[in-house]
Amino acid sequence: MARIRNVFEIIELYGHDENFEPQPTAEFIPTRAPAGSKQKLDILADRIQRGMPLWHPEDSTEFAGVALIGQND
């Protein structure tokens, strides 16, 4: 059976994501991108597509001065 690469593939196969365990790889590194920024959202989307955990314990949680998505669009 082919390796399940991300949560989307397991949902397609089984109809749910209960059995999916994201796998950190050498590419799973923390980001300094500010919380709520477009850059951070892009990084999170990339992590999901690669089958990595969404949150790295060392990700930046700073958001001071960042225009959040949806504000003043």
What digits encode the pLDDT tens for the residues 3-49? 778 888 888 888 888 878 888 889 999 999 998 889 999 999 999 88
Q: What are phi and psi of 8, to 5 degrees?
A: -65, -40
C-alpha Rg value of the chain to the nearest Å = 15
Contact (CB, 8 A) for 27 and 52: yes
Does residue 69 form part of some domain? yes
Q: Do the domain assignments include residue 58?
A: yes
Look at the chain and report how many structural domains it folds into.
1
Q: Is residue 16 in some structural domain? A: no
Domain that holds residue 61: 24-73
In a domain, 36, yes or no: yes
Please give the pLDDT value at position 66.
64
